[in-house]
């Protein structure tokens, strides 16, 4: 038992080191790519690549169903059914891949030339980006059953090995981008495709050698195919709306401005994604407990878990958001040098502030899933996100300000959050209004309060490393003090203390 604990502790340390390494590499590669491509071409790559990938939304929906049914028959030890399941999934994904490519090469190609605001001199390169992205999407879709087989067989060491491959491949891409002459945008897109194809080939060879069911076959079990599609169910609507909303906003931003504005948005999303990784782990770990509490009929602990975990998450988020809001200009300047696209820092600040809404909503939404109200969530809450597109368009048309549009575009997530609280209150004993006032509004106010002293100090000092270190240190002290004494209730404090003690214990075990 003691040896097992040591191994768990060491694996936890390795996992965080790996995550931090990948995050650091992401920042480094982003800077080099932006420097070599320039803001405009970086925006073209984000816009066109994101537009193409959005067509593969159906594949992401079906991938979870494929994993589930493969794992089901692996557990039953039914080799015959397992082979039929894999071949059915393979044919289904091949069909999806062909449909996606046809749609992209017709409607997508027309949209690229007729609607997107790309400089005429860069349209040739944009077409190469488009075709490389289409090829990558096709092979990624038909590869899904193979990656699902790796997951279903719990061969997670393969993912560890492939993460090393990703790191090495990105470094090679950066090296070639720096030293190989030619059109950097076309070169970068082609190298990205090469990395994808090599990775897929590795997966394909591994699966063919390790798993007997992973053989190319056109056998189809129609009842099973219907069951797989039915399993995906209401997730289709949510995934489609998420993609339409994200790409719709990107396209509207491009139509009113140019690809440089898309570059600013892409960089802001990169920063937000990296910061979000620090808190999403806690949310993911808590979500299965909701199902257990609901299944046991323990609604008291069900409600308390939503309150406490959300408060704990906002606490962690505040420690990151406050210093970032105050010193993001300095950080972005260090990160990107003189190649910072206009509005990047402002987009980052707005995105970070609005992340408070998303993180407050996560556990509420998980509560709806735990009680089996996925249909209601996808019918009433998720469609609210579609309001972002018309609101974004109206704000740009009448105010001609991307900042106003960015603020207005974050109203629908707040509406969705409120709808989720109403739904969860309707079907359970969840006190929605109490959660909104005591968790969301109170913590949002405390985050603003935490920034007052660091903000005053920031205005007094001259920009530079000294101010950055001083403001960040003050931000951490003020945020921790205010939220601990004014924001967190006794159960949440106990949760923090318990988790802290567990972390200390794990490190002691790993050190022993």
Q: How far apart are CA 511 and CA 454, in angstroms?
A: 37
Lowest mean pLDDT among 84-93, 112-121, 371-380, 392-401: 371-380
**Runs of H (alpha helix) within 77-122:** 79-103, 109-114
In this predicted structure, the answer to whether residue 422 has a pLDDT above a threshold of 90 is yes
Mean pLDDT of 375-385: 77
For 43-75, give one letter per residue: b (16+ CB within 10 A) or e: bbbbbbbbbbbbbbbbbbbbbebbbebbbebbe
Which pLDDT band holds residue 7 (cuts at 50, 70, 90)?
very low
The pLDDT value recorded for residue 257 is: 82
pTM of the model: 0.70
Which pLDDT band holds residue 418 (cuts at 50, 70, 90)?
very high
The pLDDT value recorded for residue 119 is: 82
Q: How far apart are CA 363 and CA 365, in angstroms?
A: 5
462 in the Ramachandran plot: left (φ > 0), alpha (ψ -120 to 50) or beta? beta
Instruction: Please give the mean pLDDT across all residues of the chain.
Output: 78
Which pLDDT band holds residue 1 (cuts at 50, 70, 90)?
very low
Which pLDDT band holds residue 222 (cuts at 50, 70, 90)?
confident
Mean pLDDT of 228-249: 69
Higher pLDDT, 276 or 311: 311
Lowest mean pLDDT among 20-29, 89-98, 214-223, 436-445: 20-29
Across 53-67, 235-249, 338-352, which has the greatest mean pLDDT? 338-352
Asked whether the beta carbons of 152 and 74 are under 8 A apart, the reply is yes
Torsion of CA 244, 245, 251, 257, to 10 degrees: 180
The pLDDT value recorded for residue 2 is: 40
The percent of residues in the chain predicted with pLDDT above 90, rounded, is 4
Mean pLDDT of 501-505: 71
Lowest mean pLDDT among 113-122, 197-206, 406-415: 113-122
Of 475, 57, 86, which Cα lies nearest the Cα of 245?
57
Mean pLDDT of 47-63: 68
How many angstroms separate the most distant Cα atoms in the chain?
A: 73
Which pLDDT band holds residue 421 (cuts at 50, 70, 90)?
very high
Tokens of 105: 């090469």
In this predicted structure, the answer to whether residue 249 has a pLDDT above a threshold of 70 is yes
In this predicted structure, the answer to whether residue 122 has a pLDDT above a threshold of 70 is yes
Q: What does the pLDDT look like over 160-175, one tens digit per residue? A: 677 678 778 878 888 8
Mean pLDDT of 52-75: 68
The pLDDT value recorded for residue 91 is: 84
Q: How far apart are CA 98 and CA 459, in angstroms?
A: 57
Which pLDDT band holds residue 14 (cuts at 50, 70, 90)?
very low
Could you say which DSSP state residue 211 is in?
A: -
What is the end-to-end Cα distance of the chain in Å, rounded? Answer: 14
In this predicted structure, the answer to whether residue 405 has a pLDDT above a threshold of 50 is yes
The pLDDT value recorded for residue 3 is: 43
The pLDDT value recorded for residue 137 is: 85
**Runs of H (alpha helix) within 221-298:** 222-232, 235-256, 259-295
């Amino acid at each position: 038992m003691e040896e097992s604990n040591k191994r768990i502790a060491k694996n936890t340390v390795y996992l965080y080191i790996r995550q931090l390494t990948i995050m650091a590499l992401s920042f480094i590669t982003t800077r080099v790519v932006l420097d070599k491509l320039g803001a405009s071409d970086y925006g073209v790559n984000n816009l066109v690549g994101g537009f193409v990938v959005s067509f593969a939304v159906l594949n992401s929906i079906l991938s979870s169903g494929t994993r589930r049914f493969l794992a089901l028959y692996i557990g039953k030890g039914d080799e015959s059914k397992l082979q039929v399941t894999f071949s059915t999934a393979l044919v289904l994904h091949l069909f999806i891949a062909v449909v996606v490519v046809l749609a992209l090469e017709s409607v997508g190609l027309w949209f690229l030339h007729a609607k997107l605001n790309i400089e005429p001199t860069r349209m040739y390169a944009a077409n190469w980006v488009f075709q490389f992205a289409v090829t990558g999407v096709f092979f990624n879709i038909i590869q899904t059953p193979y990656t699902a087989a790796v997951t279903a067989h719990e061969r997670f060491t393969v993912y560890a090995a492939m993460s090393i491959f990703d790191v090495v491949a990105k470094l090679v891409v950066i090296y070639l981008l720096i030293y190989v002459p030619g059109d950097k945008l076309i070169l970068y897109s082609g190298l990205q495709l090469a990395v994808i194809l090599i990775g897929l080939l590795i997966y394909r060879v591994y699966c063919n050698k390790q798993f007997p069911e992973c053989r190319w076959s056109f056998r189809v079990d129609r009842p099973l195919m219907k069951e797989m599609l039915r399993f995906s169910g209401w997730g289709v609507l949510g995934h489609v709306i998420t993609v339409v909303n994200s790409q719709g906003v990107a396209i509207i931003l491009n139509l009113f401005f140019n690809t440089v504005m898309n570059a600013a948005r892409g960089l802001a999303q990169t920063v937000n994604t990296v910061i979000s990784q620090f808190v999403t782990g806690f949310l993911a770990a808590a979500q299965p407990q909701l199902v257990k509490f609901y299944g046991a009929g323990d609604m008291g602990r069900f409600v308390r878990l939503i309150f406490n975990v959300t408060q704990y998450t906002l606490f962690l988020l505040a420690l990151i958001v406050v210093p970032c809001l105050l010193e993001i200009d300095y950080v972005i300047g260090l990160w990107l040098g003189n190649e910072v696209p206009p509005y990047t820092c402002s987009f980052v600040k707005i995105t970070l502030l609005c992340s408070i809404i998303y993180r407050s909503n996560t556990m509420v939404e998980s509560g709806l899933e735990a009680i089996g109200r996925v249909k209601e969530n996808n019918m009433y809450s998720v469609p609210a996100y579609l309001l972002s597109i018309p609101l974004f368009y109206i704000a740009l048309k009448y105010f001609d300000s991307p900042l106003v549009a960015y603020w207005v575009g974050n109203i629908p997530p707040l509406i969705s959050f409120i709808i989720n609280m109403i739904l969860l209150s309707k079907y359970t004993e969840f006190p929605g209004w109490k959660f909104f006032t005591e968790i969301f509004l109170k913590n949002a106010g405390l985050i603003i309060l935490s920034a007052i002293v660091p903000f005053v100090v920031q205005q007094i000092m001259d920009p530079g490393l000294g101010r950055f270190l001083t403001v960040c240190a003050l931000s951490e002290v003020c945020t921790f003090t205010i939220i601990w004494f004014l924001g967190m209730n006794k159960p949440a404090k106990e949760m923090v203390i318990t988790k802290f003690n567990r972390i200390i214990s794990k490190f002691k075990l790993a050190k022993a």
